[in-house]
């Protein structure tokens, strides 16, 4: 796609935002103007922009002063006999004043701007659909490993049809519906999936999302849309940027990788084809964006991952969840976990950690061991063995257990099994109508859910070796098992129902190096324990040919390497270079790919229907967001303000002219809906006063209007300042 606004910078973006916003304000005020002319109300001044400091271009014609003000962010239509401040109204009794007109005429004038925004938005939508709006198909591409979608059985290639009963036509609509359910909200997602035989079937999966970590911490299920073959960006690294210069550029299309053709909208294949080729170059067949020429180029791959460097890192506890296993066991923020030991005959002894991932794997391993289950079937008692596991949340989440059965606790009778889920641990072992009465040789504990009982019976304990620096008193003596630790804490992980994995309730940071394995890479090539203990590894990188390994450490003051950030470069061991994939290293092309887009220009009749549907959806979206804000499902910082307009314009630059039209229509409809809100300084507030006048048979008291105007103005200003403040905060944080 050719960019609509190629290479626009921040200044041009600002000018375009100002021009677009001013145009929409002009349309809004034009609606008031036309309605006033239609009903015989005199328009005293009609301005685009505000004429502050008496600086403006103006011309009087037929009793109306038309002008362009120096401040372009807005405009106004001044009507005879009307002022937003009731104390400044000047009525002369002239029949062309707005207050002299009947209620229906005043209602038409006050709603004229909103109606014009709606009409303008609809017409722009029709033009956009006829031109061809690029939209992202609601088809899943890459799934985040361990994310809600992956854990609940979603697959790449699934098409989202409905979310909580709402029909979905694009990935943006699906993301919006998921986001509006609130962080951690549970949703029902209806999918279309093709099986191995190519048959299309529908299924519904209930999934509990999690906070996205971005703007507003909106709900997310950890799924990305399909990727196109078009390059969206190149990694900001001098090594790769220089190597790719003249070979690959933004908007080039990658048609084949190492002789394998890449189908349209299957760009995620590119990285999967290259994942196990660290240290190699990729042969790419590309179509150049600038001239459409097809050529073949060789591109270096970026290698990522970590092999056992010989570093043993402490895992620092950054925070402790109140009431969680770690809190109850006595872990504190600032503790440094240096090693762990899992209970049981196959514990493997004491393990040290090379990264936080190894720590989390140890926590997960300490959960859900095989357990004996006591069943009653008729008059017979049976004992079966099963290993509980985290099941996809099929069926009623209130009833799902770690054993994959559904039913109800029935007092002393135990857990009555009503259904055994397909593929679950008890499939083929338990039947409908059985009673589960005991676990691990003990009866079910009273007062607990089955999930809690299974978790308690099937979870091993884990012993954490901790180094704690007490603020006062004599520090505990070092432990003989792990010299870097001065106390040991035993706890049992808990299966977290939101994240669907074993956890102990802590936030983690990668801690400093506590020891170095003798004879390891870190010992022989990086200076060993004498130089590395106490430092923090902050970055790890490989040269494109894997000949060298680049590590960045932060060293404490007084270190032999000197304090602060230092870069160490060493030759990658031959064993790693000869088989990097076996060592756990992976590779990727150092580029990002644009999302897959579908563009379908519509004939006029079809565009009218599509524009009508989208117009209704955009209108209702404002009220959906307001409702979610009111019930606190969404935080206020999820709402965008003026700064967000710059981001929207940049998206329009990337996605073409039709999408720019769509954005203009969206803003126009939003402007109309927001002006209908019942704030006294908005059109909706004027309509409320007219409704009150109709109900009581006369205008409301001036005191009421005066007070309402000031309260409404204060609320609007507070809202605008708050939203703009959040905009700036997110801009500084880089969260959107």
Domains in the chain (CATH in brackets) are 10-42+80-133+624-733 (no CATH), 137-226 (2.30.42.10), 371-458 (no CATH)
Is there a contact between 159 and 174 (Cβ–Cβ < 8 Å)?
no
d(C-alpha 546, C-alpha 690), whole Å: 75
Task: Provide φ and ψ at 413, rounded to 5°.
Answer: -75, -15
What is the per-residue pLDDT across 85-100, written as a single tens digit (0 to 9) for each?
Answer: 555 556 566 788 888 8
Identify the pLDDT of residue 550. Answer: 94
Per the DSSP assignment, residues forming a β-bridge with 286 are: 254, 295
State whether residue 152 is helix, strand or coil: coil
Cα separation of 605 and 595, whole Å? 29
Question: What pLDDT was estimated at residue 73?
Answer: 67
DSSP 90: -
SS (H, E, C) 613-679: HHHHHHHHHHHHHHHHHHCCCCCHHHCCCHHHHHHHHHHHHHHCHHHHHHHHHHHHHHHHHHHCCCC
The continuous run of DSSP H or E covering 723 comes out as helix 702-733
- Phi and psi angles of residue 434, each rounded to the nearest 5 degrees, phi first: -65, 155
Q: What is the CA radius of gyration of the chain?
A: 32
pLDDT given for residue 664 in this prediction? 86
Which of 562, 538, 560 shows the shortest CA–CA distance to 550?
A: 538
pTM: 0.65
Sites in the chain below the pLDDT cut of 70: 1-14, 53-54, 73-74, 83-93, 146, 183-184, 211-217, 344-348, 390-401, 447, 471-475, 496-501, 632-647, 649-654, 726-727, 730-736
What is residue 427's DSSP assignment?
Answer: B
Q: Is 133 helix (H, G, I), strand (E, B) or coil?
A: coil
Q: Are the CB atoms for 96 and 82 separated by under 8 Å?
A: no
Measured between alpha carbons, how far is 376 from 430 in angstroms, rounded to an integer?
Answer: 10
Q: Is 719 helix (H, G, I), strand (E, B) or coil?
A: helix
Q: Do the Cβ atoms of 117 and 28 come closer than 8 Å?
A: yes
Cα of 687 vs its chain's centroid, Å? 38
* 2 Cβ neighbours under 8 A, 6+ residues apart: 656
CA distance 481 to 340: 11
Token look-up 């091993």 returns: 460
- Rounded-to-integer distance, Cα 82 and Cα 35, Å: 15
Nearest to 408 by CA among 370, 434, 376: 434
The count of other CB atoms within 10 Å of the CB of residue 476 is 14
Q: Rounded CA gap, 320 and 337, in Å?
A: 13
At residue 691, what are phi and psi to the nearest 5 degrees? Answer: -65, -45
By CB neighbour count within 10 A (0-12 exposed, 13-18 middle, 19+ buried), where does 311 fall?
buried
Of the candidates 595, 593, 592, the one whose C-alpha atom is nearest the C-alpha of residue 138 is 595
Q: Dump pLDDT digits (tens) for 144-154.
A: 876 788 777 78
Collapsed DSSP state (helix, strand, coil) of residue 545: coil
Task: State the Cα–Cα distance between residues 579 and 556, nearest whole angstrom.
Answer: 35
């Amino acid at each position: 796609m050719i960019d609509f606004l190629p290479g626009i910078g921040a200044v041009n973006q600002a000018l375009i935002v100002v021009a677009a916003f001013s145009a929409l304000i002009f349309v809004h005020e034009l609606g008031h103007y036309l309605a006033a002319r239609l009903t015989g109300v005199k328009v005293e001044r009609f301005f685009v922009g505000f004429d502050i400091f008496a600086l403006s271009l103006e011309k009087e014609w037929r009793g109306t002063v038309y002008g362009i003000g120096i401040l372009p962010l807005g405009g106004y239509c001044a009507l005879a006999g009307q002022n937003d401040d009731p104390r400044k109204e000047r009525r002369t009794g002239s029949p062309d004043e707005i207050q002299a007109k009947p209620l229906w005429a005043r209602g038409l004038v006050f709603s004229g701007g909103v109606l014009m925004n709606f009409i303008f938005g609809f017409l722009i939508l029709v033009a956009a659909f006829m031109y061809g709006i690029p939209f992202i198909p609601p088809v899943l591409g890459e799934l985040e490993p361990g994310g809600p979608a992956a854990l609940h059985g979603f697959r790449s290639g699934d098409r989202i049809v409905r979310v909580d009963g709402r029909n979905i036509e694009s990935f943006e609509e699906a993301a919006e519906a998921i986001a509006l359910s609130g962080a951690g909200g549970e949703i029902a997602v209806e999918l279309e999936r093709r099986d191995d035989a190519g048959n299309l079937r529908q299924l519904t999966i209930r999934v509990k999302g999690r906070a996205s970590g971005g703007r507003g911490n909106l709900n997310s299920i950890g799924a990305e849309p399909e990727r196109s073959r078009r390059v969206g960006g190149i990694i900001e690294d001098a090594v790769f940027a220089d190597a790719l210069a003249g070979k690959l550029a933004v908007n080039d299309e990658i048609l084949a990788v190492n002789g394998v053709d890449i189908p349209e909208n299957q760009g995620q294949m590119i990285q999967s084809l290259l994942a196990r080729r660290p240290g190699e170059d990729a042969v790419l067949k590309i179509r150049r964006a600038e001239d459409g020429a097809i050529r073949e180029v060789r591109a270096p791959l970026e290698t990522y991952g970590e092999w056992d460097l010989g570093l043993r890192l402490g895992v620092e506890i950054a925070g402790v969840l109140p009431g969680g296993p770690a809190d109850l066991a006595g872990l504190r923020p600032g503790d440094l976990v240096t090693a762990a030991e899992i209970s049981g005959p196959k514990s493997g002894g004491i393990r040290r950690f090379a990264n936080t991932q190894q720590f989390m794997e140890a926590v997960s391993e300490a959960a859900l061991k095989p357990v004996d289950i006591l069943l009653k079937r008729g008059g017979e008692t049976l004992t079966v063995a099963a290993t509980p596991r985290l099941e996809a949340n099929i069926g009623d989440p209130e009833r799902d257990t770690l054993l994959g059965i559904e039913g109800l606790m029935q007092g002393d009778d135990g857990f009555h099994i009503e259904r055994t889920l397909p593929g679950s641990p008890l499939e083929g072992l338990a039947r409908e109508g059985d009673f589960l009465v005991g676990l691990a040789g003990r009866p079910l504990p009273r007062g607990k859910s089955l999930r809690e009982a299974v978790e308690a019976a099937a979870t091993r304990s884990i012993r954490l070796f901790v180094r704690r620096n007490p603020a006062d008193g004599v520090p505990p003596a070092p432990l003989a098992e792990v010299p870097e630790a001065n106390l040991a804490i035993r706890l049992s992980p808990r299966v977290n129902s939101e994240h669907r994995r074993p956890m102990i309730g802590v936030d983690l940071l990668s801690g400093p190096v506590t020891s170095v394995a003798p004879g390891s890479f870190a010992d022989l090539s990086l200076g060993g324990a004498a130089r590395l203990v106490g430092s923090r590894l902050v970055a790890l990188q490989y040269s494109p040919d894997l000949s060298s390994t680049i590590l960045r450490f932060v060293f404490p003051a007084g270190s032999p390497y000197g304090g602060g950030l230092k870069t160490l470069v060493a030759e990658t061991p031959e064993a790693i270079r000869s088989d990097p994939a076996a060592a756990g290293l992976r590779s990727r092309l150092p580029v990002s790919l644009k999302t897959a887009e579908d563009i379908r220009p519509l004939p006029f009749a079809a565009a009218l229907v599509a524009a009508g549907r989208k117009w209704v959806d955009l209108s209702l979206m404002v009220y959906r967001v307001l409702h979610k804000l009111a019930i606190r499902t969404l935080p206020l910082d999820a709402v965008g303000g003026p700064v967000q307009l710059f981001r929207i314009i940049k998206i329009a630059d990337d996605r073409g002219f039709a999408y720019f039209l769509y954005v203009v229509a969206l803003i126009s409809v939003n402007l109309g809906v927001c002006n209908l809100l019942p704030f006294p300084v908005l059109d909706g507030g004027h309509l409320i006063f007219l409704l009150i006048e109709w109900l009581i048979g006369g205008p409301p008291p001036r005191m009421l209007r005066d007070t309402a105007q000031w309260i409404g103005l204060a609320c609007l200003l507070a809202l605008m300042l708050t939203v703009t403040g959040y905009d700036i905060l997110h801009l500084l944080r880089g969260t959107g």
